[in-house]
A and B are shown apart, each in its own frame.
Chain A
């Protein structure tokens, strides 16, 4: 069964620190990878997408992809209390717009 694995957390970091969130996936042929953020009681929202090996930066967020190791990560620099949320890793495995989601990592940023 094709899977996406994440540590459930919570991952606790102090304000201003770097938060590192990790994700592994089982389908070697996957080509598209995403990070969604979900605040408590809200729906997921897309924050990053990455399609090629290496790093992709967007403001305080950096997504990293290593297809050989089947590993995706998200770095959040200068973490803020407003970053406290569950971060969902998603992988396009089934084609079209079908995503397989990990169960998410809860991030807690303390002031």
Chain B
């Protein structure tokens, strides 16, 4: 059974640009969550989707957005990138309303 797949794995952007990250959950998992991980702040919750609906959103500015498609694949977008957006963005999927998350390898974003 394939795990959670995130693309791209690494990317470099400059300030002001935008970026789109993709996540394919484990087959059968309908919940997809996104987290930002930085050395200083640790893992911080961005948003969670279930059946194409955003059920929960973390305390991030509106530049951070996401969506989920009918096949449960999810994307997140960050517009007007800032240096502080440099981080590892992790996607996780789960089967039901539990905290038993399965994480992808992450997308490491560097903003110059």
Contact = CB atoms under 8 A, between A and B. Distances in A.
Nearest to A91: B99
Given A43-B90, A43-B104, A96-B55, A101 B99 contact: no
B48 to A, nearest CB: 5
Contact of A97 (B41, B43, B48, B103): B48
Given A101-B42, A101-B43, A92 B99 contact: yes
A42 to B, nearest CB: 8
B50 interface: yes
Nearest to A98: B56
Contacts of A44: 43, 90, 101, 103
B85 interface: no
Contacts of B92: 97
B107 to A, nearest CB: 11
B98 A97 contact: yes
Interface string A53-72: 00000000000000000000
B53 to A, nearest CB: 11
A87 interface: no
Given A43-B106, A44-B43, A88-B43, A96 B31 contact: yes
7 contacts: A46-B102, A88-B43, A95-B55, A97-B101, A98-B33, A99-B33, A99-B101
Given A34-B100, A97-B94, A103-B42, 7 more contacts: A34-B99, A42-B105, A43-B106, A49-B100, A91-B99, A96-B50, A97-B96
